[in-house]
Amino acid sequence: MSEQKTSVLVVEDDAAVRNLITTALSSHGYEWTSATTGAEAIVAINASLPNIVLLDLGLPDIDGQNVITKVRAWSQVPIIVVSARSDDLDKIQALDAGADDYLSKPFSVGELLARIRTAERHLSYQVREEPREVTFSNGDLYIDYVAGVVQLAGEDLHLTPKEFRLLCLLARNVGRVLTHQFLLREAWEGAQEGDLASLRVFMGTLRKKIGSRYIQTHVGVGYRMVRV
């Protein structure tokens, strides 16, 4: 039986760059699909479960950093940013949002393939993700993980990316106490002990928006979403 090929989703709106990447992938034995907008990328990641995502930040509809934030609410697929933005701040923001690697344009095909091989090595220690529920309901609270939509009694709520990430973590683990350390590790890349105060602030604002009955505080331990 032949070995299953690594599947790569290429999210790039520049046709020339997209063709360069997909040609390189084909010639080195990778399976690939492509998307030209952030919305297409989010749907493709949920539908086809690629092994690796190559993501441009300068997309025509949604900034790539927002795509990372939305995807990280429900998937840990390796994301390699391939972007013309080369400022340190852009790199830091993308990595903090949940990207696994960052490659600046222009790039060599050899370096791109090396970054993909690194992601493959990491994948060898992970179990391939199974399809997961893309929506969540609890009382009057409704979450669409893929669309990034949160509603309370049918009314849209406006959450910050960090609030959305925390809410999704709680919803994915409804009924379980999530420790401060777990929430910091999952929602803050490179979290420091001082970020605990920030976590409390974000949880406070989140509870005000969705209502305190949904999130229970376990003093000195963490937080739990309860079924209502």
pLDDT of residue 185: 81
pLDDT of residue 209: 94
| Span 139-178, pLDDT tens digits | 999 999 888 889 999 999 998 888 998 999 899 888 988 8
Q: Does the pLDDT of residue 94 top 60, yes or no?
A: yes
Torsion angle of C-alpha atoms 177, 162, 184, 84, degrees rounded to 10: 140
| Span 78-93, pLDDT tens digits | 999 999 988 888 888 8
Residue ranges and CATH numbers for the domains of the chain are 7-123 (3.40.50.2300), 161-225 (1.10.10.10)
Helix 161-172 crosses helix 195-210 at what angle (to 10 degrees)?
80
Put simply, whether the predicted model's pTM sits higher than 0.85 gets the answer no
Q: How far apart are CA 60 and CA 43, in angstroms?
A: 16
**Around 177, how many Cα atoms within 13 Å sit in the side-chain half-sphere?**
9
Structure token pair of residue 224: 């739990």
pLDDT of residue 40: 93
pLDDT of residue 2: 43
Q: Does the pLDDT of residue 76 top 60, yes or no?
A: yes
Beta strand 135-138 pairing with 141-144: antiparallel
